[in-house]
Amino acid sequence: MSRLKIISTIIAAISFLSTQENSFAHEMSETSASITVRDQAVDIRLSVDLIQWLSNVSPQSNSLKDPAEAMKRLVLAEKSLNHAKFIADGKSLPLNLKQFPNVVDVLNAIKEHGQGQHTRASVIMRASLPHANISKISLKLPEELGDVVATFNRPTTHYARRGGVAAFPMKSAQQ
């Protein structure tokens, strides 16, 4: 197999895997937060166990099997995100909600939960950075989301002309 074909295959595989929002090597019970900084913007992608989150926002409420109760909790879950804080170089920046579970997501999660399955839901928030040279960032999420596994990404971008190759060096585990 030619070297170019191998590199193209690797790039295609990485691209495919990076587009799979809820791909995990194993089922996670924790919330995952992927923080990606590009230019002067930051995207925060959360993957949450939807039923657990809805249960946490109002633990003393009625059963989630009641769709009206589930919808009430969905509103509370969205409001809980008002307590999320993104801080860049000591300055708190506003987060804009870009994607949030909807009614259909909740109803499907309730059905799957009744079958012993966990439904992951995606939440995407975005903030604008004051400048590109940020030296320290931190993220505080509401306790209703439970434990969080956070990952920071600062993508390396290369431009490839039509038919060209974009090559990326890979750091070893020791680095």
For residue 89, being part of any structural domain is answered with yes
Binning pLDDT at 50, 70 and 90, where does residue 150 land?
very high
**Amino acid letter at 154?**
R
Instruction: Report if residue 174 sits inside a domain.
Output: no
Q: What is the structure's pLDDT at 123?
A: 96
Report d(CA 37, CA 134) in Å as an integer: 10
Task: Report, as an integer, the average pLDDT of 101-114.
Answer: 82
Query: Residue 4 pLDDT > 80, yes or no?
Result: no
- Within a domain: 25: no
pLDDT of residue 70: 81
Q: Is residue 170 part of a domain?
A: no
Q: pLDDT digit string (tens) for 19-31? A: 444 444 445 678 9
55 burial (CB, 10 Å; 0-12 / 13-18 / 19+) is: middle
In a domain, residue 160? The reply is: no
* Contact present, 33 and 23 (Cβ < 8 Å): no
On whether residue 13 sits in a domain, the answer given is: no
Task: State how far Cα 152 lies from the chain centre.
Answer: 11
**Residue 142 predicted with pLDDT over 80:** yes
Q: What is the mean pLDDT of residues 136-162?
A: 90
Query: What is the value of pTM for the model shown?
Result: 0.74
Per-residue pLDDT at 23: 43
Average pLDDT rounded to a whole number, residues 70-79: 90
Q: What residues make up the domain containing 41?
A: 32-153
Count of structural domains, the chain? 1
Residue 97 lies in a domain: yes
Mean pLDDT of 93-108: 90
Cβ density class 8-28: b for 16+ within 10 Å, e for less: eeeeeeeeeeeeeeeeeeeeb
Q: Report the distance separating Cα 8 and Cα 10, nearest Å.
A: 5
Amino acid found at 132: A
pLDDT-based confidence at residue 111 (cuts at 50, 70, 90)? confident
Asked whether residue 175 is domain-assigned, the answer is: no
- Distance, in Å, from the CA atom of 5 to the CA atom of 58, rounded to the nearest integer, reads 53
pLDDT greater than 80 at residue 16: no
* Residue 147 CB coordination number (10 Å): 10
